[in-house]
Structure 1
Amino acid sequence: MDEQIIRTLQEQAIEERQYIQEKYGQDEDVVQVVNRRDYLTGRQSAAVRLYDNERNVPLHRHGYIELMYAYKGTFTHRFGEEKVLLEEGDLLVMNQYVEHCVVESGEENIGINIIAVPEFFEKPFQMLKKQNKIMDFLVEMLRRNTRKPQYLIFHIKGRHALENLMENLIESIMEGNGASEEISQYTMGLLFLYLAEQMDREEHDPVENYKDEIIQETLKYIEIQYRTARLGKIAEDYHLALPSLSKLIKEGTGSTFQELLMKRRFEKAAVLLLETNLPVEEIALNVGYENQSYFHRQFKMRYGVTPRRYRLIHRRKMRQQGKI
């Protein structure tokens, strides 16, 4: 993206920062409703603003549609009690009823916000030809009698057509004349068409993909780090609250984190009993249990016999089958 655009947005952000802070304050207990006229003037239907780390608007919703493009770095977004990490190149689209705020971002991060009234999306809606998550989102957004909070997250980093469309969209909105506004709406439509095509190739919607990613990373983490794995480490990595992460894992796997961890540990213990001559006490330590009586009790609960008896029975079978 043209660095002059970034500089222009940075200068604009400095001018607006004090006004926004004075108007909406920092009260975390009050959900503010940010007015569209704070950013849109006259007949303007869309505007571009830079998210800077000193703006710090508390939990709020707004009278407009907001897109946040993580142009550089990462941002942890809060939606009510849920926290979601936006990585570089991610695009977040929110309707006007989502309560949200940014709770963490690095000093060098650059987030670009597109602020638009619902009418701005009428042409993009007309350009979508078939039912998909984006069309459903736009239908809900343009429906006058709905107040359903909704947001979508798209990962567009490395997809050059999408990155170019995002930059073109930002530039055309910043030009701010009649012709550029129509171009902006058609560019938004093209962006949505590309995203819809991308979603057709994927099994789930972007939010579900993000959840699936967390679950797969959790399973991989347990598989490799079973001895010392802890739920708090994943929560820290993904900037999620422990209750939200626990619920996500339970819904995605049917088991709690602790159940998955114990299953992996005792599977590994069973392998070590058969493939090594390590003492049972050492095997317990190797899979993460210092409490020997607890290890023996849990092992017998799972396999019906003590660890030593398990080794004896299964090694005898292996000798009979010629495997050892």
Structure 2
Amino acid sequence: MIDIIFHDKTGVTPYNPGQTGGFENAAGSGEIHYYRLFDGVGIMLLRLEMETYTEIRTQIGMIEINFCINGRFETSFSMRDSVLLKPGDMAVSCYDGRHGTRSESRFPLGCYEGLCLEVDPAAAQNWLEKNAPGFSVDFAVLKQNLLGNRWFMFGTAGPRCEHVFRELYENAPYMDLRFLRLKVVELLMLLSRIPQEEGTDLYCSTEQTELAHHLRDHLLTNREGYVSLVQLAEEHGISVSHLQKMFKQVYGVPVYHYIKEYRLEQAAVELVRSAKPITQIAQNAGYDNASKFSEAFRKRYGTTPSQYRTHANGLAKRSREIRME
């Protein structure tokens, strides 16, 4: 069961957030904490343990910005349009009434932590002009900077925006309304002004996408032996170079880079959700010894596995204490 908990810091009954509707009948468990900060702007903290869910969008013109804290988030709007998020990535969409009405999402690691910022541009612009005239956010410029002529985009959030996303995620339950409003406005101003990288052509045929998924699943399930890309390419009648290019087109990174990152993310989940020894988690991630695993983990997360586990458990304990007060 997914619990949706409203924390209305404005003192006004919140409107129904656009993203929560898809979780009503989802199979899994977790919590969604919703904070309405001012007219037209709300944030959701998502902590989920589930495999899949379906979302139906109805609010035309709403800008939705998702940021991945932990886990992986994969969404398909159609055979052509898909989003693949890893920690540090964000996805931006603006429902236009045609594209992305229905999306099928899945969490390959079985869990997900993220933040979703929902913005009604007209209402937010009006509130800021009346209550915070010194902070200029032009939502037409923000939308153009993020999306251009597209209705969705995804990619790395960048260090400056990622810092603010993580501040919001960690501090929303504890900080007062003024702090959260300032951080959201800071984030909106950054997203309006930081140039976005030009994306590559992300189109892949259904056959290419299915082949990339097959290759990924094969590599992830074969932990014991070396998997030959030459053999896999021969099985599907394509060259190794074409296979590698197709995989990067679908997943955004080279084959073995994806596998290494994926297994480190699985390890991060195990560190938090289990009491397994770090040596065992290292072996599950494909490392011969804990020191090599610790070095790779520190490069990926900026902290050692033991420090990561201690910090995550501390946050979870603090969150439980806040809910009990």
User: Structures share a fold, TM > 0.5?
Assistant: no
Q: Which has the larger radius of gyration?
A: 1
Using the size of structure 2 for normalisation, the TM-score is 0.43
Greater strand content: 2
